[in-house]
Amino acid sequence: MKKYYKDYKLVSKTQPNGKIKQVAEYVGRYYICQLSETDFKRYKSYYLALALCSSATAIGLGFLNNPGSRIAYIALPYVSLFLPIFYMIIGTIGFIYSGNKLEQAAYDRTKIRIRRSTIWQIALSFLAGMGNIIYTLIKGSADTLLKNWIFTGGMLLILALSIVFLQLQKRVTYGVEDPNYNE
């Protein structure tokens, strides 16, 4: 966490046994959620539902075994999609267990991580979906046409879920409280 070293300072504290101990104290910015407590809990459940739906869709499409998934320009974006999904789930779990007031590191691990991974999901699902459409139109045979269109529909579903998730993230706003503003 060398990135956040300026957000902490060492403070000497006396313990009950008389020893003096150096303790790190947070002096950085706090991010405070602007939503009410009930709305904040509701958005936590929305975040979890959208993260689980997109990850379940991506995993389910892997079991489809369509012929387009053996082509590099379809398989690479599809396989790469799992990394942003993993980070989105980790960020969402962190968001669920976070409070209304976040330190800089927690804000980056939740809000910023979820936003970046959602943007990557949009890009990669779009690339995989468009690649599969192009493959289906050029080399699609009648017996594999249904599997290819199901895969394309799944990628477009992940794309739509990610866009909805990104729009939902814009509603959860944080205000900045800087304790060192007067210094």
- 181 falls in which pLDDT band (50, 70, 90)? low
Residue range 25-41: mean pLDDT, rounded: 93
What is the structure's pLDDT at 143?
Answer: 78
What are 151-168's pLDDT values in tens digits?
999 999 999 999 999 999
- 180 falls in which pLDDT band (50, 70, 90)? low
Mapped onto helix, strand or coil, the DSSP state of residue 131 is: helix
What are 70-97's pLDDT values in tens digits?
899 999 999 999 999 999 999 999 999 9
Mapped onto helix, strand or coil, the DSSP state of residue 84 is: helix
Name the pairing type of β-strands 174-177 and 30-33. antiparallel
| Contact yes or no for 100/168 (Cβ under 8 A) | no
Question: Where do the domains of the chain lie?
Answer: 3-18+25-177
Residue 100: exposure state from Cβ atoms within 10 A (0-12, 13-18, ≥19): middle
Helices (H), 64-144: 72-80, 82-97, 104-107, 113-139
The matching CATH number, chosen from 1.10.8.60, 1.20.120.230, 3.40.50.10860, 1.10.3720.10, for 3-18+25-177 is 1.20.120.230
